[in-house]
Amino acid sequence: LSLFFLLLLCTFCTSQINTLLAISIFHCKVCVFTQLSPEERRLLDSIAWPETPRLPVPISLSTASDPAHSTFTILPVRAGGQWHVGDELEALIQICDFQGRPKQFGGDFLVARLHDPELGAGVAGRVVDHLNGSYTAVFPLLWEGQVTLVHSSEAITVLRRLTTEQPGRVYFKSLFQSGSVSETMVCNVCLPPTQPLCNYTDLHTGEPWFCYKPKNLRCDTRINHYKGGFMVGKTDLYDIHITDVRFIFLSGQPEVKSSTVKPEPVGYYYQGAWRALGGTTVHQFNNPSAISQCLTDKVVHLHGDSTIRQWFEYLNSVLPDLKEFNLHSRRQNGPFMSVDMARNILVKFSCHAPPLRFSSIPTNELHYIANELDRLVGGSNTVVVIGIWSHFSTFPIVLYMRRLQSIRRAVLRLLNRAPGTLVVIRTANLKALTLSETLTNSDWYSLQRDKVLRATFKGLNVRLVDAWEMSLAHHLPHSLHPQTPIIKNMIDIVLSYTCPQKNG
């Protein structure tokens, strides 16, 4: 309760500052972020979401978007066409409200995919918002399709408001301890200066982090970091069944259209295996010896959140000769380390620094990825994998932008001193959305972060694993932690980057 109250104070202190950017918490006196750079502003503009409706309170559900009343038309087209791989299918989707009236404005969050269970095939579509209640979904191949209304535009109004008004709805704590004295204090990226603070801002990267100072202990007695909990004040989300995900199915007799909107998927599934479009050939690493051979003489550094930890777990589970060293770490946090002595393979995982919603993690295991990269010599036997997105969802996006920029600078330094280093970036993925998940971790928040991630690393000599498309195109349900068949496909991509095969 106290934190919510403090955040209200915080909002109050910002109300005099005219900002369009929903970064109010950062303008509290305690953690003034400098002005947005032109680059940051450009990035923010590039991810701008359409206007969503101002909502009356209480919200009237009858005017919100309703998949059950919404319709689609597969656009009729060129006569006599035969279907070819790479052809485009276009569907016009009209979103209607709960009373069946066509919506007049855009801003709904839709995702689209085509899939064919028999062929084990699937591909993500691209959705274009016409800002008048209609949307076009464009797909490159012909299978049965599915469009999911993830959130109505009304829900997005509420999600936006949540970020502005309750950025501290996931809150953090630290235990301070010295001898027999211990105190637990609230911590965050920014705290209203209502009591003395301990400043844990990283001197190297400049990443801010604060705790309230314990009454009887010094700031250097902080021994751990953990998620305090999740707290949401009054929100209209409970009124507006936004997590009620339903589907609009596309089927029927579609015809080919040469569309003006290029779907540009990065790949698709066929017989359960991911095939990349454009450039990389993804090879199947179906047995341990192929994987071990690829990783021979390599050091693989995995940095990030639990979706990267999954990759560590996968490699350990499929490689019998890769033995995990017992570092006595908690399963959620790491660090972890596995070795195959015979083949000189080392695989390491470490989680990223706060904001991090793990259970208790020792403070000396909190490492900013940029600092970790600066400690690497790098080279052609080094593979660096970075995956950081999910724990930033409740914060104003500027925090994430700055975290990525510090990582980007470290990647540039690494590639400059050791150009042979392979750097792989894992993007965000879609997840199952319960109500509480939506409030803290909606796919809509992930989508914004995903766009920032891609823009930040664009043009660098790094490779992407497009977890967004891979989770969308797959028939398995969306999950924060994608299931093993999807992980297997992701690892195949990493290994294909690591060991490109000639004539492949």
Contacts with ligand NAG by CB under 6 A lie at: 30, 130, 132, 134, 199, 201, 203
| Minimum distance of ligand NAG from residue 449's CB (angstroms) | 25
DSSP 39-92: HHHHHHHHTPPPP-----SS--GGGSEEEEEEEEEEPP-STTPPP-TT--EEEE
| Minimum distance of ligand NAG from residue 190's CB (angstroms) | 9
Beta carbon nearer to ligand NAG, 193 or 272: 193
Of the candidates 359, 453, 394, the residue with the CA atom closest to the CA atom of residue 22: 394
| Minimum distance of ligand NAG from residue 208's CB (angstroms) | 7
Residue where the block lists tokens 């936004």: 242
- Phi and psi, residue 134, nearest 5°: -115, 155
Tell me the C-alpha distance between 425 and 25, whole Å: 29
Of the candidates 423, 424, 427, the residue with the CA atom closest to the CA atom of residue 470: 427
DSSP 441-498: H-HHHHHHHHHHHHHHHTTSS-EEE-HHHHHHHSSSPP-SS--HHHHHHHHHHHHHHH
| Minimum distance of ligand NAG from residue 79's CB (angstroms) | 21
Beta carbon nearer to ligand NAG, 30 or 346: 30
Find residue 247's DSSP bridge partners. 148
| Minimum distance of ligand NAG from residue 176's CB (angstroms) | 18
Tell me the C-alpha distance between 209 and 469, whole Å: 33
Beta carbon nearer to ligand NAG, 44 or 370: 370
Beta carbon nearer to ligand NAG, 192 or 387: 192
The count of other CB atoms within 10 Å of the CB of residue 367 is 16
Q: Read off the DSSP letter of residue 353.
A: P
Beta carbon nearer to ligand NAG, 136 or 393: 136
Tell me the C-alpha distance between 438 and 452, whole Å: 20
Of the candidates 411, 407, 448, 406, the residue with the CA atom closest to the CA atom of residue 428: 448
Tell me the C-alpha distance between 74 and 89, whole Å: 8
| Minimum distance of ligand NAG from residue 423's CB (angstroms) | 28
Residue where the block lists tokens 């996931």: 170
| Minimum distance of ligand NAG from residue 402's CB (angstroms) | 13
Report whether 140 contacts 88 (CB < 8 A).
yes
| Minimum distance of ligand NAG from residue 371's CB (angstroms) | 15
| Minimum distance of ligand NAG from residue 485's CB (angstroms) | 38
Beta carbon nearer to ligand NAG, 30 or 299: 30
Beta carbon nearer to ligand NAG, 186 or 384: 186
203 SS3 class: coil
Of the candidates 153, 108, 156, the residue with the CA atom closest to the CA atom of residue 135: 108
| Minimum distance of ligand NAG from residue 132's CB (angstroms) | 4
Beta carbon nearer to ligand NAG, 130 or 408: 130
Beta carbon nearer to ligand NAG, 7 or 30: 30
386 SS3 class: strand
| Minimum distance of ligand NAG from residue 198's CB (angstroms) | 9
Beta carbon nearer to ligand NAG, 172 or 457: 172
Tell me the C-alpha distance between 472 and 123, whole Å: 8
Beta carbon nearer to ligand NAG, 66 or 236: 66
Report whether 401 contacts 456 (CB < 8 A).
yes
